[in-house]
């Protein structure tokens, strides 16, 4: 890695709400010499998320609820050259910082994300992960649980995350694709399987695909949010 690459610093921004079960390990795996700060943007956790994060050396700030609002709030105070947005139940791969810096130094690359791995046993999660990774590379369309990263300059230039109740990651990525290539790292971010475990693998996948297809068909995100809630209750 060149000297210029080594000087780049990374701010990791983690929106949270009641992530006490996962946050310690998430922070531990997000620690690296090139990471200048880990920002926990909490929207009112009733558990010990904030306490645990502080004990692990993270900086904690408060924000109104809504993942887009939380991530924008974190980005507004971040000091790093690179912003890496991470879910509170997702573990970064070993050596992630070098991978991020190297990728963003490639010509034409505007942003990147990691491949997806789901922390559940069995063949089903492997199939879902594989399909997700094919889609991410073919369409340059990673989701938020893959750890999206880009320079702070680029994030500011495109106006940050749109203030929408869901699909904020997809909307941001579609903006980014107009400015350059979104590359996917071969190494995987390991995300908790709780969503798939709670609703079932098939049901969760169908809900996700219905939301994406609805978005591509031009249905407003507020209506899609109601679909999402209904899908979880059915």
Note the pLDDT tens digit of each residue in 185-222: 999 999 999 988 888 888 888 888 888 888 888 888 88
CA 136 – CA 132 distance, rounded (Å):
6
Residue 93 banded pLDDT, cuts 50, 70, 90: very high
pLDDT at 3: 42
In a domain, 227, yes or no: no
pLDDT at 2: 43
In a domain, 64, yes or no: yes
Q: How does pLDDT run across 7-59, given as a tens digit for each residue? A: 799 999 999 999 999 999 999 999 999 999 999 999 999 999 999 999 999 99
Domain count for the chain, please give it: 1
Q: Which of 97, 114, 104, 93 is nearest to 151 (CA)?
A: 104
**Using N-to-C axis directions, what is the helix angle for 123-139 and 201-216, rounded to 10°?**
20
Over residues 148-163, the mean pLDDT reads: 98
pLDDT at 170: 93
User: Reduced to 3 states, what is the DSSP secondary structure of residue 147?
Assistant: coil
Over residues 139-144, the mean pLDDT reads: 94
3-state DSSP percent of the chain in helix, strand and coil, to 5: 45, 20, 30
Cβ distance 34 to 101 under 8 Å?
Answer: yes
Cβ distance 13 to 71 under 8 Å?
Answer: yes
pLDDT at 4: 44
pLDDT at 5: 46
Give percent of the chain with pLDDT exceeding 70.
95
Give percent of the chain with pLDDT exceeding 90.
78
pLDDT score of 136 more than 60: yes
pLDDT score of 232 more than 90: no
User: Reduced to 3 states, what is the DSSP secondary structure of residue 212?
Assistant: helix
Query: What are the two backbone dihedrals, phi and then psi, of residue 187, each rounded to the nearest 5 degrees?
Result: -65, 145
- The position carrying tokens 């645990």 is 52
pLDDT at 231: 61
In a domain, 71, yes or no: yes
Cβ distance 18 to 49 under 8 Å?
Answer: yes
pLDDT at 205: 84
Cβ distance 224 to 167 under 8 Å?
Answer: yes
Q: Which helix (H) or strand (E) holds 62?
A: strand 59-62
CATH code of the domain containing 138: 3.90.550.10
Residue 234 banded pLDDT, cuts 50, 70, 90: low
CA 137 to chain centre: 16
In a domain, 232, yes or no: no
In a domain, 110, yes or no: yes
In a domain, 215, yes or no: no
* Weakest-pLDDT range from 87-91, 183-187, 228-232: 228-232
Which range marks the domain in which residue 18 is found? 3-192
In a domain, 230, yes or no: no
Cβ distance 10 to 80 under 8 Å?
Answer: yes
User: Going by C-beta distance under 8 Å and a sequence separation of 6 or more, which residues neighbour residue 230?
Assistant: none
Query: Both tokens of residue 164?
Result: 């929408």
In a domain, 35, yes or no: yes
Mean pLDDT, the chain, whole residue set: 93
Residue with more model confidence, 2 or 80: 80
């Amino acid at each position: 890695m060149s000297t210029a690459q080594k000087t780049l610093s990374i701010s990791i921004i983690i929106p949270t709400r009641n992530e006490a079960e996962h946050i310690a390990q998430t922070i531990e795996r997000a620690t690296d010499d090139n990471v200048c700060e880990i920002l926990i943007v909490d929207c009112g956790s009733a558990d010990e998320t904030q306490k645990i994060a502080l004990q692990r050396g993270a900086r904690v700030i408060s924000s109104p609820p809504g993942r887009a609002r939380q991530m924008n709030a974190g980005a507004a105070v971040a000091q790093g050259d690179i912003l890496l947005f991470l879910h509170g139940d997702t573990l970064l791969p070993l050596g992630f910082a070098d991978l991020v810096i190297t990728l963003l130094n490639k010509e034409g690359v505007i942003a990147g994300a990691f491949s997806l791995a789901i922390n559940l046993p069995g063949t089903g999660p492997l199939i879902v992960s594989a399909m997700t990774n094919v889609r991410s590379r073919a369409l340059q369309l990673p989701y938020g649980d893959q750890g999206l990263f880009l320079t702070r300059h680029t994030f500011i230039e495109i106006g940050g995350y749109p203030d929408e109740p869901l699909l904020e990651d997809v909307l941001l990525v579609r903006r980014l694709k107009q400015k350059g290539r979104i590359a996917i790292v071969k190494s995987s971010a390991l995300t908790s399987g709780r969503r798939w475990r709670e609703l079932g693998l098939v049901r969760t996948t169908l809900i996700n695909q219905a939301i994406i297809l609805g978005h591509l068909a031009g249905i407003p995100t507020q209506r899609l949010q109601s679909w999402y809630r209904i899908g979880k209750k059915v």
